[in-house]
Every structure is written in C-alpha cells, then in structure tokens.
C-alpha cells in the first residue's frame, strides 16, 4: 500500500494553493504530501502550514515549509490529514500516531477537512482499529475501569512506545480501546466525554468533507461526505 499512499499524498498537493495557510495532519500518507510540497517549494511555491503535532512540525520544517501556530490565525481554509478508519458516512477513527487532540482542534478550525489515505482504511463500520482515548495521567486507571464497566469496549491497552508509557505532546496518556464494532459513533463519543479524566477521543464525527483514497493499481478516488 506504500505506493498508493505516495500517489495520493502527491496528488493532494494540488489542493494547497499559493499563499495558502493550511492545517497539516499526521501519518504516513501525509509524509508523502510533505515530500511533494517540498519539491514545489523548491520551485517557488509559498505556503504556510499549521502542524497538528510536534512530529509533523519537525517534518514540515525539514522539508522547508513555513510553520506557524494555530493561535496566529483566526481560520484555516483547509486541513489535510490522514485517518486510521473511514466509514461510508465519513466518520473517522484517528489518533494511531497519538496526535488526536491537536488534530481535532485544527480540523475544527478549518473550513474544510480532507482526508488522504490508502484503500485499506475504508471500512463498513468503525471499530476494528482500536479507538484511542486521550486521558490525563492522574487517575487514568479509574477512567479505564469506568469505560470497561460501561460496556463500551471489551479490552483496553495503555499505549506504550519503546517499552515505556506513551506520552502525548500535551503530556497525556492514551487508552487504546478495542470496541470491535461501533454501532453509534456519535453517542459513543458523547458517552466517553462524560467520563471525568477523558480529554479527547479519536472519533471524528461530521468533520470530514472529502476523502482522497489511493489504490494499489494507481487509481485515486474522491469521496464526498458533505
């Protein structure tokens, strides 16, 4: 699927117009978007990115993109981001890279959110990919117990990286919740937010406008959600 990611990432660069300030998401497909933008910047394209994570910020700066903080702009015309799962209604699971909080803030500040991904991310219903839930470290075990007791999911794993507890850019933990099949994503999102200690969830409801999907045979499909 790497070629599909590369193709759709490069294709999405056409969405970034000269002089645009845009939200730049995270993930392996976004990496290829940045590489294509770097080529165009070397040819004179002037653009500014608002990154959704420290990793994305470093990647963008290394590629020669001008980077600013979200607080420096009132509204973004566009955000381009990846996803871990995309259902037919455009509901998403995001946060596999651990940047779900900033990704959601930047997406909410954008007139348009366009998702770029390979075809393996298309699903009939959300839930096969573990749902990330960002929580504060204090009392995270209690949050875990409440989620399990509610029957929202069957199993929860505290995210690890290199053998240590993963810590987000905002010094939070992430609980990866195995839900199997999410029937009502909007209700689940609300239920999780009612639990004290939950900062954000990886459920993106009614936020994506479009998706650009890359296939192994070289095809790129545009899906409109709204």
Alpha carbon separation from 140 to 11, 75, 111 (Å, rounded): 41, 34, 34
Domain with CATH 3.40.50.1360 in the chain: 2-122+205-216
**CATH number at 2-122+205-216:** 3.40.50.1360
Q: Where are the alpha helices (DSSP H) in the chain?
A: 2-12, 28-42, 54-62, 100-108, 140-149, 185-193
pLDDT > 90? residue 1: no
- Please indicate whether residue 221 is annotated as part of the active site: no
Domain 131-199, classified CATH 3.30.70.260, yes or no: yes
Q: What is the mean pLDDT of the chain?
A: 96
High-pLDDT (> 90) share of the chain, %: 93
Annotated catalytic residue within 54, 72, 85, 103: 103
pTM of the predicted protein model:
0.94
Using a 10 angstrom Cβ sphere, with 0-12 exposed, 13-18 middle and 19 or more buried, the burial of residue 154 is exposed
* Cα–Cα dist 66/155, whole Å: 42
Q: Tens digit of pLDDT for each residue in 170-216?
A: 999 999 999 989 999 999 999 999 999 999 999 999 999 999 999 99
**Share in percent of the chain as helix, strand, coil (round to 5):** 30, 25, 40
Domain with CATH 3.30.70.260 in the chain: 131-199
Let me know: does 13 contact 224? Beta carbons within 8 Å: no
Cα angle 67, 68, 70 (rounded to 5 degrees) comes to: 135
């Amino acid at each position: 699927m790497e070629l599909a990611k590369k193709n759709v990432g490069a294709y999405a660069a056409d969405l970034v117009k000269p002089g645009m300030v845009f939200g730049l998401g995270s993930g392996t497909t976004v990496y290829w978007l940045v590489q294509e933008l770097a080529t165009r910047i070397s040819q004179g394209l002037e653009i500014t990115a608002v990154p959704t994570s420290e990793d994305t910020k470093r990647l963008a700066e290394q590629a020669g993109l001008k980077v600013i903080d979200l607080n420096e702009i009132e509204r973004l015309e566009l955000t381009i981001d990846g996803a871990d799962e995309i259902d037919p209604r455009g509901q998403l699971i995001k946060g596999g890279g651990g940047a779900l909080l900033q990704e959601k803030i930047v997406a909410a500040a954008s007139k348009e959110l366009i998702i770029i991904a390979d075809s393996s991310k298309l699903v009939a219903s959300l839930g096969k990919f573990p749902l990330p839930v960002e929580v504060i470290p204090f009392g995270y075990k209690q949050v875990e117990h409440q989620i399990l007791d509610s029957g929202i999911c069957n199993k929860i794993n505290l995210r690890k990286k290199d053998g240590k507890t993963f810590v987000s850019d905002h010094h939070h933990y992430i609980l990866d919740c195995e839900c199997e099949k999410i029937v009502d994503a909007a209700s689940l999102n609300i239920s999780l937010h009612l639990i004290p200690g939950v900062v954000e969830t990886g459920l993106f409801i009614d936020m994506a406008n479009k998706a650009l999907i890359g296939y192994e045979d070289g095809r790129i499909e545009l899906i409109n959600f709204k």
